[in-house]
Amino acid sequence: MQSIINSTKAFFRDEDGVTAIEYGLIATLIAVAIIVGVTAVGTNLEAKFNYIAGKLV
């Protein structure tokens, strides 16, 4: 019984998995921010090119 209690305590003290999950969440948030930023820039750039193309015609 003492072995199970010690194993459970060790499991809750181990933070290696938590750190990996945190890094994964941070990487996901950074990727989402990059995707949103690139999409916004792409949309604005497309609008500018369409404006220029319309003036050239």
pLDDT at 19: 79
pTM for the model: 0.58
Is the pLDDT at 33 greater than 80? The verdict is yes
pLDDT at 55: 93
Residue 54, both tokens: 């319309």
Q: Determine the distance from the C-alpha atom of residue 40 to the mean position of all C-alpha atoms in its chain, rounded to a whole number.
A: 17
